[in-house]
């Protein structure tokens, strides 16, 4: 099977049962994406597929051949951290760091959703063309990413700062 | 997690009550105790870039040649025996290397249970897969090794086990009928009486007397428990996610009958611990299977497996009775109760500990019992005892304040003790009322309506509550540090300590750099590996003080050595160890900083490439002479939906008195993290233990509700920053205090919003409808 | 997870051809099925990937919308016409799961998701849904999240979907295709009550595939909403949810649509409440009477009796919000 991960084409022979997450971690050596529940309940495995955030633990790898997959390892430009990565460090948007790759990928996907006008349950006006990047919107939209260390305030601050600076 | 060290401290307590101050602590004349600069600065965590890149390598991410993957099969009864176990289908399944059961597992020694030896770390002393006996519902009964995780998981599901059930105690009510005193509560007597508290309660002008209940909880660190293990002859390497590497190595050595030095445990990154990432059965089983199969093994528990096999916080039932005199001081303080435990572990959830140190009362009665159940061994979880004990005690104080028509903060002012109320010792440093005052001002406590139910916006009732936070200071013995100072002006400081996100590595790098007089980027801190000088376990919020004490001792040895090397041709000639400090890349006279020589110069003259020293921190005697505790005031504002009973925490502020804060950024995160876990404790978290089967029914992050982003408001954190005169660096650990008092602050705020007093956690919406 | 074969369908006919035979299952986003396979509750021999089927959301002649079954939950909630004309549907979808899961989950898969009953999920427990005739450990166990309406002695599980509650309220039709040909079913008639056979959860015939969902034109659905009550502020299944649309003429309820989630084995269309309200003034008192009409048959178990009152109150609050009436 052929997969496109972080811009590189990769071949792997995998069991049909292998999830996209296990493909990345066990077969492609990309251990940045994390396994926290393997049931779509924590978000640590979040990756971007064709720009859209998904839980890679619930995705069978076979379904994602020839799609553009971006993991946390694909966010930085060489030595330069992605602005969101730098903001996470600055705002202490993590402690143990285990949920962090999922939070980062999720936030990037989320910012794109907001830019595309996808509403959330806290969006007051469903017909509004633009959605504010406010505290409630960010918290609601990031709620699929658990952080047991409780770095939520730092995560939200980092996201708000990054995407307020450079609208997605 | 104080365990053996605490027990030892208690024994020593009377004997050394009169230790002279120069023996107490190691920080008496330490200039760094109050000096600002690197210490205290909001330095971003140094492992941050690796973590945000996904480059930090966790235990399940170590790959070894020839490695096979493990999966477990768990029992489905709580007590009895395995009658038969059919592994034929599993053995025949594709990719399977080994199926291990009690029938073929290597013989192992009984695990040394915590508190039976200084480095004993087993959570339970049950034999591990050595016989057919079942002791809890979810006990692992078979382990499969296969070439891939998919193959191992599938094969484990093919194992058929039949059981001969035996009567099991899986009801707390039933177990309570035989509740008894444990031998000790972490070294303290299970019952403590000062005066006749029941009589004083009866005679009190105002009294409250209620029972409070807290359920089981699971740590639920997001990283699943995992390790990758390999044997080389009798040498075992365990790449673990661990908060106690040295104790794990020692305990595994006892179990497998090898020398402690033959077991190496590494744990460079831990994806959250909170008391849960200790030694459990998975490391033992992985090592046993690896030995049997002759292959390296990786084991990663499923989330369900974590619930089945890693203990959590136990259930408690607590009575708090308070009797007040007309002036608002306490005539009686009674805090008693019972928790569920097992006959094969020792973790009595010390919920009466807050009441030993917090408030003055004429008569005090504290008593804890345990009720033995057939269940997975319960264990330490963030602020064991204090987290749930403060819920009961601080709710009761709020009820008393209400009964007396007194502001809850004013009540606490009236019962502030001059000395520790049960030990009689002086406090080393206590600024609780200051924390209350500062917190109240910043939070806007004066806007709280004294009458419940007075504030409403639309469907939402709004209320404020407050509660005291408390956690003891601990520094453990046996913590050593090594400093390697190179002629190039680079230093490497190492301790087998743990970084699970608390900021340990960053803070001790700051500390070492400040002490050595080097910039941050010239100091590296190594940790999480038993090949390094022995550290303490990450528990009891001890690491900061223990590591600081060890670095102080090693630094003293380093300065001694450097002054020797500097000799008579140095500007430092004639100065003694306590007359110099690290400054500007070298040593300088404290009295006259112009007397300075760089490390490079000292080493060059001595023709040395490096100096390496190692030393152990001084014995933690400070805790014997003084009552050393951190305290704080937790302020909550909640909104309770009058229609549905839903609770939203709209504002929160923690005001802490925890000694010197060493890194303002990582400390804020530690406090917030504790508070957020406290919000879960208050509102959403409960491990559902089915009392018919003894089985946990929500072994999942979808059904065990830890707080999500949307549950968490912006949390304000402030601190007194008052250095403790008797601790290294003036600091007291802060990993656990954040969770304490939170549930009571929330419950008190809910009362203020609604007039409903909930004494049973979690406060789910059905209790408020 | 038991080994299986996998095939990707290029169109409905292809899917149906491959979906015949024992043990074949259609695979959408996988957010529920993959989890259940990993939990060893589902053991399909063949997975037929239907994510390549129609994701189109298109206007129907004469009003309404046709939604391809492979459309993602996110794309449906974000569709301008859904947001404008069926806000109850957009809000129901957005109240469910997480952003990531909504991106993966298909409309067809959402409809066919299975219960969150913890005894269903644990194969050490007795469950008539997993093993017909085995018994039910939920009835006397932890049943806080379980059904208060339409349950049976065999099963008290609930259907977990939010989206389906809105679809039930909107009189959506499910378009099916299968070995015996194409047909339509009202969404409200697709899911079954448990009765004696809780293992049979829908009226789907063997090999039948959901190809689309049709939303009829319903102008007054512009005044509709969804309210979900749950144990966390986000990312939790409903304890009780209410989907409602209200058609007022002056102060009189000309028409109303009401459906409940989290209370039954299927999305619960509250027809008794609707009937009680039609033609009546939109007052809090009438809303309460309507709620009572629906919930008079509700039965509480050990842990879930609160849902009866919660459902009553939530219905009143939601109708009050739509009518701008103070409860």
Chains that touch A (3 or more CB pairs under 8 A): B, C
Q: Say yes or no: A63 and A89 in one domain.
A: no
Distance CA A134, CA A128 (A): 14
Residues of C in contact with A1 (CB under 8 A): none
Domains of chain C, CATH where assigned? 5-51 (3.30.43.10), 223-323 (3.30.390.50)
Interface of chain B against chain C, CB under 8 Å?
A: 76, 137, 150, 153-154, 157, 459, 643-646, 648, 684, 688, 690, 692-693, 695, 697-700, 702-703, 705, 707-711, 764-766, 769
Tally of domains in chain A: 2
Distance CA A55, CA C103 (A): 9
- For B252, the enclosing helix (H) or strand (E) is helix B245-256
H helix intervals, B333-385? 353-357
| Cβ pair B80, B164 in contact under 8 A | yes
Q: Say yes or no: A49 and A106 in one domain.
A: no
User: Cα-flanking dihedrals φ and ψ of residue C23, to 5°?
Assistant: 85, 5
3-state secondary structure of A158: helix
Residues of C in contact with A156 (CB under 8 A): none
Distance CA B574, CA B592 (A): 13
Please indicate whether, in this complex, the C-beta atoms of B223 and A36 are within 8 angstroms of each other. yes
Residues of C in contact with A144 (CB under 8 A): 97-101, 235
Chain A contact present for C118, CB below 8 A = no
For the domain that residue A88 is a member of, what is the CATH number? 1.10.150.120
pLDDT on residue C177: 98
Distance CA B121, CA B116 (A): 9
Please indicate whether, in this complex, the C-beta atoms of C233 and B643 are within 8 angstroms of each other. no
pLDDT on residue B34: 77
In angstroms, what CA-CA distances link B102 with B83, B97, B740? 12, 17, 42
Q: Say yes or no: A92 and A146 in one domain.
A: yes
User: Cα-flanking dihedrals φ and ψ of residue B299, to 5°?
Assistant: -125, 130
Residues of A in contact with C243 (CB under 8 A): none
- Strands (E) in chain C, as ranges, are 5-8, 24-27, 46-49, 57-59, 65-68, 173-177, 183-186, 209-215, 224-230, 238-249, 252-261, 268-269
Distance CA A154, CA B735 (A): 17
| Cβ pair C268, C276 in contact under 8 A | no
Establish whether B736 is a catalytic residue: yes
* Ranges under pLDDT 50 in chain B: 1-5, 7-8, 11-28
pLDDT on residue B24: 40
| Cβ pair B123, B278 in contact under 8 A | yes
* Chain A residue with minimum CA distance to C32: A58
Distance CA B456, CA B594 (A): 66
User: What residues make up the domain containing A135?
Assistant: 83-165
Interface of chain A against chain C, CB under 8 Å?
A: 15-17, 19, 38-40, 43, 46, 52-55, 58-60, 62-63, 106, 109-110, 113, 116-121, 123, 126-127, 139-145
Please report how many Cα atoms fall inside a 13 Å half-sphere around the Cα of residue B325, on the Cβ side. Answer: 11
Confidence of residue C326 (pLDDT cuts 50, 70, 90): low
For the domain that residue A33 is a member of, what is the CATH number? 3.10.20.30
| Cβ pair B27, B638 in contact under 8 A | no
Per DSSP bridges, beta strands B596-598 and B586-589 are: antiparallel
Confidence of residue C325 (pLDDT cuts 50, 70, 90): confident
| Cβ pair C36, C42 in contact under 8 A | yes
Q: Say yes or no: A110 and A52 in one domain.
A: no
Chain B contact present for A23, CB below 8 A = no
State pLDDT tens for residues C228-277: 999 999 999 999 999 999 999 999 999 999 999 999 999 999 999 999 99
pLDDT on residue B22: 37
C250, with CB counted inside 10 A (0-12, 13-18, 19+), is exposed
Chain A contact present for C95, CB below 8 A = yes
Distance CA A31, CA B54 (A): 7
Alpha-carbon distance C244 to nearest alpha carbon in chain A (angstroms): 16
Please indicate whether, in this complex, the C-beta atoms of B710 and C234 are within 8 angstroms of each other. yes
Residues of B in contact with A136 (CB under 8 A): 710
Chain B contact present for A120, CB below 8 A = no
Residues of C in contact with A118 (CB under 8 A): 74, 77-78
Q: Which of A136, A143, A145, A156 to mutate to test the interface with C (most CBs of C within 10 A)?
A: A143
Chain A contact present for C51, CB below 8 A = yes
Which one, of B72, B80, B83, lies nearest residue B134 by Cα? B80
Chain A contact present for C30, CB below 8 A = yes
| Cβ pair B709, A143 in contact under 8 A | yes
Share of chain C above pLDDT 90, in %: 98
pLDDT on residue B9: 52
Please indicate whether, in this complex, the C-beta atoms of B44 and A99 are within 8 angstroms of each other. no
* Chain A residue with minimum CA distance to B701: A41
pLDDT on residue A165: 59
Q: Which CATH number fits domain B476-619: 3.30.930.10, 3.30.230.10, 3.30.365.10, 3.40.50.620?
A: 3.30.365.10
Residues of B in contact with C233 (CB under 8 A): 646, 648, 708, 710-711
Q: What is the mean pLDDT of chain C?
A: 97
Distance CA A33, CA A13 (A): 20
Respond yes or no on whether ipTM tops 0.90. Answer: yes
pTM of the model: 0.97
Q: Say yes or no: A158 and A87 in one domain.
A: yes
Q: Per-domain residue ranges for chain B?
A: 59-167+223-271+277-309, 191-216+313-474+624-768, 476-619
Question: What is the DSSP code (8-state) at residue A56?
Answer: G
Q: Which CATH number fits domain B59-167+223-271+277-309: 3.40.50.720, 3.30.300.30, 3.90.1170.50, 3.40.50.10210?
A: 3.90.1170.50
CA angle in degrees (0–180, nearest 5) for B150-B236-B481: 120
Please report how many Cα atoms fall inside a 13 Å half-sphere around the Cα of residue B73, on the Cβ side. Answer: 25
Q: Which fold has domain B191-216+313-474+624-768?
A: Aldehyde Oxidoreductase; domain 4 (3.30.365)
Please indicate whether, in this complex, the C-beta atoms of B57 and A145 are within 8 angstroms of each other. no
Please indicate whether, in this complex, the C-beta atoms of C100 and A55 are within 8 angstroms of each other. yes
| Cβ pair B29, B634 in contact under 8 A | no
pLDDT tens string, chain A, 168 residues long: the values are 999 999 999 999 999 999 999 999 999 999 999 999 999 999 999 999 999 999 999 999 999 999 999 999 999 999 999 999 999 999 999 999 999 999 999 999 999 999 999 999 999 999 888 999 999 999 999 999 999 999 999 999 999 999 985 544
Q: Say yes or no: A9 and A68 in one domain.
A: yes
pLDDT on residue B285: 98
CB pairs under 8 A between A and C: 107
Is the previous residue joined to B762 through a cis bond, with omega within 30 degrees of 0?
yes
Q: Say yes or no: A87 and A161 in one domain.
A: yes
Q: Say yes or no: A59 and A93 in one domain.
A: no
Q: Say yes or no: A62 and A93 in one domain.
A: no
Question: What is the DSSP code (8-state) at residue C321?
Answer: H
Residues of A in contact with C71 (CB under 8 A): none
Q: Say yes or no: A40 and A11 in one domain.
A: yes
What the block records as the tokens of B491 is 């230093």
Interface of chain C against chain B, CB under 8 Å?
A: 1-3, 38, 40, 116, 118-119, 121-122, 124-125, 137, 140-142, 144, 229, 231-237, 239, 306, 309-310, 313-314, 316-317, 327
H helix intervals, B381-495? 386-404, 408-414, 432-443
Please indicate whether, in this complex, the C-beta atoms of B707 and C232 are within 8 angstroms of each other. yes
Alpha-carbon distance B306 to nearest alpha carbon in chain C (angstroms): 15
Please indicate whether, in this complex, the C-beta atoms of A54 and C104 are within 8 angstroms of each other. yes
- For A139, the enclosing helix (H) or strand (E) is helix A135-141
Q: Say yes or no: A99 and A134 in one domain.
A: yes
Please indicate whether, in this complex, the C-beta atoms of C234 and A63 are within 8 angstroms of each other. no
């Amino acid at each position: 099977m052929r997969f496109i991960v972080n811009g590189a084409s990769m071949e792997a022979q995998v069991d049909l049962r292998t999830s996209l997450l296990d493909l990345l971690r066990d077969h492609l050596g990309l251990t940045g994406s994390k396994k926290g529940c393997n049931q779509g309940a924590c978000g640590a495995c979040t990756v971007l597929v064709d720009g859209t955030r998904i839980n890679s633990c619930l995705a069978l790898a076979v379904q994602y051949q020839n799609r553009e997959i971006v993991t946390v390892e694909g966010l930085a430009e060489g030595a330069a951290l992605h602005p969101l990565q730098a903001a996470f460090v600055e705002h202490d948007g993590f402690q143990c760091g285990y949920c962090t790759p999922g939070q980062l990928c999720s936030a990037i996907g989320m910012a794109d959703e907001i830019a595309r006008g996808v509403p959330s349950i806290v969006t007051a006006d469903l017909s509004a063309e633009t959605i504010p990047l406010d505290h409630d919107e960010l918290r609601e939209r990031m709620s699929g990413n658990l952080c047991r260390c409780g770095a939520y305030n730092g995560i939200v601050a980092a996201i708000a700062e990054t995407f307020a600076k450079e609208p997605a | 997690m104080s365990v053996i060290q605490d027990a030892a401290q208690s024994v020593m307590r009377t004997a050394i009550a009169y230790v002279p101050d120069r023996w107490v602590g190691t920080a008496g004349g330490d200039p760094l105790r109050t000096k600002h600069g690197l210490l205290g600065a909001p330095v971003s965590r140094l492992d941050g870039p690796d973590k945000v890149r996904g480059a930090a390598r966790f235990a399940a991410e170590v790959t070894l040649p020839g490695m096979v993957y493990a999966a477990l099969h768990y029992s489905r009864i709580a007590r009895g025996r395995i009658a038969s176990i059919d592994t034929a289908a599993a053995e025949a399944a594709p990719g399977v290397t080994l199926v291990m059961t009690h029938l073929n597992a290597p013989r192992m020694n009984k695990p040394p249970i915590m508190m039976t030896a200084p480095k004993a770390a087993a959570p339970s002393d049950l034999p591990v897969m050595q016989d057919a006996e079942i002791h809890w519902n979810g006990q692992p009964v078979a382990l499969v090794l296969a070439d891939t995780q998919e193959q191992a998981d599938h094969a484990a599901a093919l194992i058929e086990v039949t059981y001969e059930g035996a009567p099991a105690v899986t009801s707390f009510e039933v177990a309570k009928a035989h509740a008894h005193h444990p031998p000790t509560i972490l070294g303290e007597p299970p019952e403590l009486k000062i005066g006749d508290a029941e009589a004083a309660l009866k005679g009190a002008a105002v009294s409250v007397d209620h029972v409070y209940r807290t359920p089981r909880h699971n740590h639920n660190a997001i990283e699943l428990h995992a390790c990758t293990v390999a044997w080389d002859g009798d040498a075992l390497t365990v790449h673990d996610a661990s908060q106690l590497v040295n104790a794990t190595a020692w305990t595994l050595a006892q179990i497998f009958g090898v020398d402690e030095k033959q077991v190496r445990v590494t744990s460079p990154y831990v994806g959250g611990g909170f008391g849960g990432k200790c030694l459990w059965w998975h490391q033992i089983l992985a090592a046993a299977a690896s030995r049997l199969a002759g292959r390296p093994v990786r084991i990663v528990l499923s989330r369900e497996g974590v619930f089945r096999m890693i203990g959590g916080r136990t259930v408690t039932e607590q009575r708090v009775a308070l009797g007040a005199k007309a002036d608002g001081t306490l005539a009686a303080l009674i805090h008693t109760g019972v928790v569920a435990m097992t006959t094969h572990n020792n973790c009595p959830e010390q919920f009466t500990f807050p009441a030993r140190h917090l408030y003055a009362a004429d008569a005090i009665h504290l008593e804890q019992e345990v009720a033995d159940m057939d269940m997975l061994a319960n264990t330490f979880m963030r602020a064991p005892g204090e987290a749930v004990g403060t819920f009961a005690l601080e709710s009761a104080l709020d009820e008393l304040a209400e009964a007396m028509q007194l502001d809850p903060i004013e009540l606490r002012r009236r019962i502030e003790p001059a000395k520790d109320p049960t030990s009689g010792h002086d406090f080393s440093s206590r600024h609780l009322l200051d924390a209350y005052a500062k917190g109240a001002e910043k939070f806007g406590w004066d806007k709280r309506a004294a009458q419940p139910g007075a504030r409403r916006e639309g469907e939402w009732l709004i209320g404020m509550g407050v509660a005291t936070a408390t956690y003891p200071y601990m520094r453990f013995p046996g913590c050593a540090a090594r400093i390697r100072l190179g002629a190039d002006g680079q230093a490497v400081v190492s301790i087998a300590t743990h970084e699970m996100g608390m900021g340990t590595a960053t803070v001790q790098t700051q500390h070492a750099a400040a002490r050595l007089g080097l910039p941050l980027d010239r100091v590296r801190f190594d940790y999480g590996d038993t090949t390094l000088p022995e550290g303490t376990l990450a528990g009891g919020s001890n690491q900061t003080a223990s590591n600081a004490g060890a670095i102080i001792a090693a630094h003293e040895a380093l300065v001694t050595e450097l002054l020797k090397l500097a000799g008579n041709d140095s500007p430092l000639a004639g100065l003694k160890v306590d007359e110099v400090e690290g400054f500007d890349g070298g040593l300088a006279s404290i009295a006259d900083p112009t007397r300075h020589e760089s490390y490079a110069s000292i080493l060059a003259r001595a023709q040395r490439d490096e100096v390496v020293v190692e030393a152990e921190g001084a014995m933690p005697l400070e805790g014997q002479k003084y009552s050393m505790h951190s305290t704080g005031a937790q302020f909550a504002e909640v909104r309770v939906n009058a229609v549905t009973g839903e609770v939203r925490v709209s504002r929160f502020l923690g005001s802490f008195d925890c000694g010197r804060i060493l890194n303002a950024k990582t400390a804020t995160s530690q406090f917030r993290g504790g508070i957020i876990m406290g919000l879960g404790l208050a509102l959403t978290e409960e491990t559902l233990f089915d009392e018919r089967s003894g089985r946990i029914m929500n072994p999942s992050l979808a059904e065990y509700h830890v707080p999500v982003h949307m549950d968490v408001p912006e949390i304000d954190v402030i601190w007194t920053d008052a250095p403790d005169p008797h601790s290294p660096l003036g600091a007291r650990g802060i990993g656990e205090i954040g969770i304490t008092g939170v549930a009571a602050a929330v419950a008190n705020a809910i009362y203020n919003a609604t007039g409903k007093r909930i004494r049973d956690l979690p406060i789910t919406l059905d209790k408020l409808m | 997870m038991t080994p299986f074969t996998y095939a990707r369908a290029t169109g409905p006919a292809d899917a149906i051809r491959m979906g015949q035979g024992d043990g074949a299952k259609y695979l959408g986003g996988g957010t529920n099925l993959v989890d259940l396979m990993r939990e060893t509750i589902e053991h399909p021999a063949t997975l037929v990937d239907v994510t390549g089927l129609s994701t189109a959301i298109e206007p129907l002649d004469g009003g309404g919308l046709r939604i391809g079954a492979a459309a993602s939950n996110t794309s449906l909630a974000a569709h301008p016409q859904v947001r404008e004309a069926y806000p109850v549907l957009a809000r129901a979808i957005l109240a469910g799961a997480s952003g990531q899961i909504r991106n993966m989950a298909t409309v067809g898969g959402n409809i066919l998701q299975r219960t969150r009953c913890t005894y269903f999920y644990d194969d050490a427990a007795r469950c008539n849904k997993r093993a017909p005739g085995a018994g039910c450990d939920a009835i006397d166990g932890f049943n806080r999240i379980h059904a208060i309406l339409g349950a049976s002695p065999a099963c008290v599980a609930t259907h977990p979907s939010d989206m389906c509650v809105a679809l039930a309220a909107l009189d959506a039709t499910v378009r099916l295709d299968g070995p015996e040909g194409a047909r339509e079913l009202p969404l409200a008639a697709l899911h079954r009550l448990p009765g004696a056979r809780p293992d049979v959860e829908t009226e789907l015939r063997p090999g039948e595939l959901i190809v689309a969902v049709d939303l009829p034109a319903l102008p007054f659905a512009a005044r509709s909403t969804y309210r979900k009550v749950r144990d966390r502020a986000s990312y939790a299944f409903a304890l009780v949810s209410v989907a409602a649309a209200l058609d007022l003429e002056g102060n009189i309820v000309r028409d109303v649509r009401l459906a409940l989630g989290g209370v039954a084995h299927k999305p619960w269309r509250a027809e008794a409440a609707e009937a009680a309200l039609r033609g009546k003034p939109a007052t809090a008192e009438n809303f309460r009477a309507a709620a009572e009409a629906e919930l008079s048959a509700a039965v509480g178990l050990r842990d879930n009796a609160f849902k009866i009152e919660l459902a009553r109150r939530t219905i009143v609050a939601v109708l009050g919000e739509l009518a701008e009436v103070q409860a």
